[in-house]
Amino acid sequence: MQMNDSVVLTLEEAGALVSSILGKAGFSEGHVRTLTWLMVSGERDGCAAHGLYRTLVCVHSLRSGKVVGDAEPEVHDQAPAIVRVDARGGYSLLAFEAGLPLLAEKARSQGLAAMAINRCVHFSALWPEIERLTDMGLVALACNPSHAWVAPAGGRVPLLGTNPIAFGWPRTGAPPYVFDFATSAVARGEIELRRRAGESIPEGWGIDAQGNPTTDPAKVLDEGAMLTFGGYKGSALSTMIELIAGPLIGDLTSLESMEYDAGAGASPYHGELVLALDPQRFLGDRAQEHLARAEAFLNAFDGTGARLPSQRRYQARERSLAEGVRIPAALHADLVALLE
Amino acid sequence: MQMNDSVVLTLEEAGALVSSILGKAGFSEGHVRTLTWLMVSGERDGCAAHGLYRTLVCVHSLRSGKVVGDAEPEVHDQAPAIVRVDARGGYSLLAFEAGLPLLAEKARSQGLAAMAINRCVHFSALWPEIERLTDMGLVALACNPSHAWVAPAGGRVPLLGTNPIAFGWPRTGAPPYVFDFATSAVARGEIELRRRAGESIPEGWGIDAQGNPTTDPAKVLDEGAMLTFGGYKGSALSTMIELIAGPLIGDLTSLESMEYDAGAGASPYHGELVLALDPQRFLGDRAQEHLARAEAFLNAFDGTGARLPSQRRYQARERSLAEGVRIPAALHADLVALLE
């Protein structure tokens, strides 16, 4: 259904379109399925940057040889509480899905478990993976390095990635408590948008080559570095993510990932760490009582002016389920062109 | 050795003084040993607020019935990867020490493990516990709720604690990478100091009763709320800590801990979550190679202007080991008076 310069698609229509494009481009069935789910979920939740638009990026990455379109993930039972999945150069999500049953089984039998995903190409938000775990009643944490664009607090040189961290807590009778944010002050794309628009950026987003605060997006992007959120605390957290989702799982730091990229500007190629904790094993017989206390705590946010994270996403989701998603007509045309 | 209005003690002298006071006050041998180690470590590392001064606080808490001085922690083997320790109303550190061998054994056999400490009285920094784990070659994470003094981002009502989070990464040939910080913008004590000095506070530390930014410390402490570091991101992290170190381990949120305190102003009574991850199990044969990459990453901070966290603490430690610790003569007199 076309309306002026936008197109409205049901989620089914959106999924069918994305699947056809990805299949035609040469992705294997598993990657088509997981990528389609990911991009439709992003569009459904109002995250256009992680929505249907990404189909174009995925096809471009496949054509330029930056991702293996038919990579079959290999799942290794590394230790009683550790699953390791070798993504073999494919997108991360199929590797996540391949390891998920064993991760959940280990979390339930051991109490908590980790999944190390290696050698994956990563572009996606982490919340779709987090929600897969909260849907199973598990508490989840995930993080990954990216490319070294961010200077640690006090430093002049980019050593850290934008390093997202995401967390999920399953709720009863409400969507899960989920946050998913970059440990950089803002997304790199936000600074790029300001440059394109000829606008300045607020102080605190980045520094110039000498390490001084700057409001010039070009100086941050081309010569200087981005900054973390929350000063030295955010910087410390981002450093932790480099360590636990880099060397701890035998995979690249953001600096190494950037060297590997060698200026190609592709999605980071690296690893991801996922933790799953089972409240039933932590709490035994008293799980229900204590999870009800968590509900009371989260419900206390209502009416105080505070918003739980992801609320806007859940509202967009409800709307999209009822009304479908609306994308720019130009994007729709670009997508359809890939089918010709 | 007395010098003007300060007193210098060797670490042995400091330890002997603290031990005598705590023993005389009625703490059992295990608590005397762990509290002494904690406070001497704090003083040694230049953290006066967690140093010998705390001896006075511990004795006061014992006398006013807010802590059980001879509580014997009970260690439970909750699940293959979970240790639970009931502190039974005693200080947290003895419970931590009681559970530590089983936590380390589980981390080594399963790959990672969690320790839930319940019903403990907490006043200490988390880094001394973190360093116990990094000394064993384990990666460590710890966090706990506190008292509900902090409003979530956008809110007017305090629902969160100052909720510290600490992390440690063992290094070869260098002290561990350790951070330990409150998720509040600053420590509550910092705002109290400003009030006593009749000074204002910077914007961003707290809000008044209407939820508006204020620079008046009294308005923050008495009517309004403190704020988290890092805006909505810090607020989300702090909320995570409430959940995973509260209901997940069957213990109190900061709000519940404050209700339990009922205005007495005692140290929070609650739980603590500790995670330990074994790089050897994550990495197997290739551990050395990947840990060397972590060293390269951390060494890259040198000369960029960035400082790794805890460096000041390690410098103070070296100085104290060589020269002893210097405490105010008035504090020394207060301490000695407790022996009379």
Range of the domain at A82: 74-184+228-283
Asked if A77 and A99 touch (Cβ cutoff 8 Å), the reply is no
Residues A82 and A63 in one domain: no
Q: Kindly list the residues from chain A whose CB atom is less than 8 angstroms away from the CB atom of residue B235.
A: 306
The verdict on B174 and B88 lying in the same domain is yes
Neighbouring CB atoms inside 10 A of B183's CB total 28
Looking at B283, B298, B324, which one is the last position of a domain? Answer: B283
Question: Is B291 domain-assigned?
Answer: no
B248:A155 CB<8 A: no
Query: Which member of B167, B181, B300 has the closest CB to residue A159?
Result: B300
Give the neighbor-by-neighbor strand order of the sheet with B2-3: B2-3, B6-9, B325-328
What is the residue-wise DSSP string for A96-128?
Answer: HHHHHHHHHHHHHHHSEEEEEEEEEE--S-SHH
Using pLDDT thresholds of 50, 70 and 90, give the confidence band for residue A48: confident
Chain B hits for A239, CB-CB cut-off 8 Å, are: 177, 179, 308
CATH of the domain at B331: 1.10.1530.10
Which of A109, A239, A270 should be substituted to probe chain B, the one whose Cβ sees the most B Cβ atoms within 10 Å? Answer: A239
pLDDT of res. A2: 52
Are A14 and A158 members of one domain?
A: no
Given a cut of 60, whether residue B183 has pLDDT beyond it is yes
In angstroms, the CA A275 to CA A273 distance is 7
Residue A291 in any domain: the answer is no
Preferred mutation among A78, A102, A108, A110 to probe B, highest tally of B CBs within 10 A: A110
- Interchain pair A139, B231: CB under 8 A: no
- Tell me the CA end-to-end span of chain B in Å, nearest whole number: 20
User: How many pairs of residues across A and B have Cβ atoms under 8 Å apart?
Assistant: 235
Q: Which of B79, B169, B211 sits opposite A305 (nearest CB)?
A: B211
Residue B1: predicted pLDDT: 52
> Which carries the bigger pLDDT value, residue A64 or residue A318?
A318
Say whether pLDDT at B37 is over 70. Answer: yes
> How do residues B55-67 score in pLDDT, each as one tens digit?
999 999 999 898 9
Q: Which residues pair with A80 in a beta bridge?
A: none
Q: Per the domain annotation, does B195 fall within a domain? A: no
**Do residues A125 and A167 share a domain?**
yes
The chain-wide mean pLDDT, for chain B, equals 94
**Chain A: residue nearest B183 by CA?**
A233
Residue B249 lies in a domain: yes
CA distance B258 to B239: 16
* Chain A residues within 8 A of B253 when measuring between CB atoms: 293, 297
Taking CB atoms and an 8 Å cutoff, what residues of chain A touch B110? Answer: 79-82, 110
CB contact under 8 A, A154 and B305: yes
pLDDT at A102: 98
**DSSP classification of residue A220:** I
pLDDT of residue A217 exceeding 70: yes
**Last residue within a domain, chosen from B283, B299, B326:** B283
Average pLDDT (A279-288) is: 96
Q: What is the pLDDT of residue A74?
A: 98
Does any domain span residue B302?
no
* CB pair distance less than 8 Å for A305 and B112: no
Residues A127 and A243 in one domain: yes
* Residue A339, amino acid: L
User: CA of B64 to nearest chain A CA: how many angstroms apart?
Assistant: 29
Decide if A282 and B155 are in contact by the 8 Å CB cutoff.
Answer: no
Of A116, A139, A159, the CB nearest to B301: A159
User: Taking CB atoms and an 8 Å cutoff, what residues of chain A touch B134?
Assistant: none
Percent of chain B with pLDDT over 70: 99
Tell me the H-state helices in chain B: 11-25, 29-44, 53-63, 92-110, 127-134, 188-196, 217-218, 231-244, 254-261, 279-283, 287-299, 311-323, 329-337
Whether pLDDT at A222 is above 60:
yes
Cα separation of the two ends of chain A: 20
Nearest C-alpha neighbor of A216 from the set A195, A242, A193 = A195
Output the pLDDT for position B2. 52
Q: Is residue A276 part of a domain?
A: yes
Confidence label for A303 from pLDDT (cuts 50, 70 and 90): confident
**Residue B3 pLDDT greater than 60, yes or no:** no
**Is B208 part of a structural domain of the chain?**
no
Chain A neighbors of B117, CB-CB under 8 A: none
Residue B299 has pLDDT above 70, yes or no: yes
Query: Do B23 and B157 belong to one domain?
Result: no
pLDDT single digits (tens) A231-271: 999 999 999 999 999 999 999 999 998 887 777 776 778 89
Q: Which residues of B touch A307 (CB under 8 A)?
A: 153-154
Same domain, residue pair A42 and A140 = no
Task: Give the length of chain A.
Answer: 340
Tell me: do A115 and A155 sit in the same domain: yes
- Tell me the shortest Cα–Cα distance from A97 to chain B, in angstroms: 20
- Determine whether the interchain pair A112/B111 forms a contact, defined as Cβ–Cβ distance below 8 Å: no
Q: Residue A122: which pLDDT band, with cuts at 50, 70 and 90?
A: confident
Instruction: Compare CB distances from A290 to B152, B247, B275 and report the shortest one's residue.
Output: B247
My answer on whether B108 and B247 are in the same domain is: yes
> CB A236 to CB B109 under 8 A?
no
Residue where a domain terminates, one of A283, A300, A319: A283
Number of domains chain B contains: 2
Question: Which chain A residue has its CA at the smallest distance from B252's CA?
Answer: A293
Q: Which CATH number characterizes residue B78's domain?
A: 3.30.1370.60
- Out of A80, A153, A237, name the one closest to residue B110 (CB): A80
CB atoms within 10 A of CB B289: 11
**From CA B266, how far away is CA B224, in angstroms rounded?**
20
> Is A82 in Cβ contact with B240 (below 8 Å)?
no
| Bridging pattern class, strands B225-227 and B150-151 | parallel
* Cβ contacts of A154 within 8 Å, gap of 6 or more: A232, A235, B305, B306, B307
DSSP 8-state secondary structure symbol assigned to residue B152:
P
Q: Average of pLDDT values for B138-162?
A: 95
Q: Are residues B115 and B256 in the same domain?
A: yes
Q: Tell me the shortest Cα–Cα distance from B207 to chain A, in angstroms.
A: 13
Query: Looking at the structure, do residues B9 and B95 belong to the same domain, yes or no?
Result: no
Confirm if B71 and B89 have CB atoms less than 8 A apart.
yes
Does residue B234 carry a pLDDT above 90?
yes
**Region B80-88: what's the mean pLDDT?**
98
Q: In what order do the strands lie in the sheet with B206-207?
A: B150-151, B225-227, B206-207
**Greater confidence, B123 or B74?**
B74
Is residue A293 assigned to a domain? no
Residues B236, B130 share a domain: yes
Per the CB < 8 Å rule, is B181 touching A109? no
| CB pair distance less than 8 Å for A230 and B229 | yes
Among B151, B284, B305, the residue with its CB nearest the CB of A211 is: B305
Whole-number Å distance between alpha carbons of B71 and B112: 28
Helix axes B53-63, B329-337, angle to 10 degrees: 30
